[in-house]
Amino acid sequence: MNTALAQADHAVEALRAERRDEYYPQFHLAPPAGWINDPNGLICIDGVYHAFFQHHPYSEHWGPMHWGHATSRDLIRWQHQPIALAPDTPYDKDGCFSGCAVDDNGVLTLIYTGHVWLGEPGDDSQVREVQCLATSEDGLGFVKHGPVLAAPDGIQHFRDPKVWRENGEWWLVVGAKENGLGQVRLYRSADLRAWRFDRVLAGAQAAHQGYMWECPDFFPLGEQHLLLFSPQGLAAQGYRYRNRFQSGYLLGHWRPDSDFRVTQPFCELDAGHDFYAPQTFTAADGRRLLFAWMDMWESPMPSKAHRWAGALTLPRELTLAADGSLRMNPARELTALRRESHTFLAQTLTNQQLPLADDVQELTLTLRPADNDAERYGLAIGSAARLFVDNQAHRLVLERFHENRALCTCRSVPLPEGDSLSLRIFIDRSSLEIFVNQGQACLTSRIYPTAGDRRLSLFAEGGRAQFEPITGWQLASLWG
């Protein structure tokens, strides 16, 4: 067996023995121990779903990137597999960075970025990044075949390939930085090994649009195409772009041998604190599904004290609404995780807080803002977070609390038009995922309630609020 892979697997097992589970997720993909960030290589092949992810198995901190690996047959019960890639060659010695997976005539094939520091480790001004190929006969062990695409002259930051097949050819998008501006470059190939440049698919025209566009993904949805990417360097604008880096999409039209005609400017995918590097894949039945990293660069991560850091979001289905807007909802398979159900009767609260339960991980509720005069009303999760309607700002607000003041921050979205506000909420041990009005908006954030402080409650402040009946469920673990 490859020595680097064996050492990495041994390291993560040693860390696993020290892992504490107070914050470790029950129904989100996370590493056995150590660090993870971007989801990679999402694919369904031969009836098996594969989720790879950027992984540092030697500590809970970011380090030389490996590819961790988990598999599932139903998207809800997962099994960790041996580490798939380790940085052990001259072209990827400082990291097997993000990439994708494709089915090449039945062969599971990974395309990833080999990263090398040319100066001091961590000096982003001196790097070499190339796109590399690896294949597997059994879906578990991988053979590296070396670089297949190098950066053009004048470009150092050149990473995160996403590949698909169309019109008898392979196509690849890759993130890049040229002259201090982010861009997505498009390539094509007959065999996954010899690539030729097609065009710059899209790019920043000025510094305020981002100095680097990471993790691109390009795919059709309905009658349009979406270009997903994670731009670095966007300045905050009021309620928008509040995180260190952002993730979102451009909507438009494309066909091979033509430019991408953008019809909608950049739009954030998720309004929460912790959502980055989304990647999509196709389910066995053709649905477009998405995972993202459920953390954020340069943010406090209390789970590091427990010898692990990072998790992935729930799998989400992407659709286009009748008006052409994007919708993102939990994958339908997740209902199979439901166990005991709870029903909470309708309530009217005036300057009150009403405890509900401390063992509910999914709930659905409907609010009618026009019927309520409370200044703030909604749901509290212990003393760790509150989700509420702010009637003065006309926004839905997610506020979190922690002894580390850097985690005491808010994110919010405008209240949707219409009479009702429908919420579907998933509460894991250290995360919240909120889906608003069947996916019109989403908020994803890490939270850190202490043991014994996870009780859900309703509240109304500065007036009266009516709550319609609420349905909740306990959820099973996905590690089964």
Q: Which of 220, 245, 243 is nearest to 230 (CA)?
A: 245
Strands 326-330 and 316-320: antiparallel
Read off the tokens for 98: 């993000």
Q: What span, in angstroms and rounded, lies between the C-alpha atoms of 427 and 441? A: 17
Q: Which of 266, 402, 308 is nearest to 55 (CA)?
A: 308
Q: Which of 184, 444, 175, 478 is nearest to 316 (CA)?
A: 444
| Active-site hit among 9, 21, 38, 295 | 38
Q: What span, in angstroms and rounded, lies between the C-alpha atoms of 174 and 45? A: 23
* Letter string b/e over residues 309-326, b meaning 16 or more CB atoms within 10 A of that residue's CB: bbbbbbbbbbebeeeeeb
Q: How far is CA 453 from CA 22, 157, 294, 357, 385, in A?
A: 12, 44, 22, 11, 11
Return the SS3 of 335: helix
372 φ, ψ to 5°? -120, 140
What are the residues whose beta carbons fall under 8 Å from the beta carbon of 223, sequence distance 6 or more? 320
Helix (H) or strand (E) holding 168: none
Question: Quick check: is 38 catalytic?
Answer: yes
Q: What span, in angstroms and rounded, lies between the C-alpha atoms of 462 and 239? A: 24
Q: What span, in angstroms and rounded, lies between the C-alpha atoms of 479 and 454? A: 22
Catalytic positions are: 38
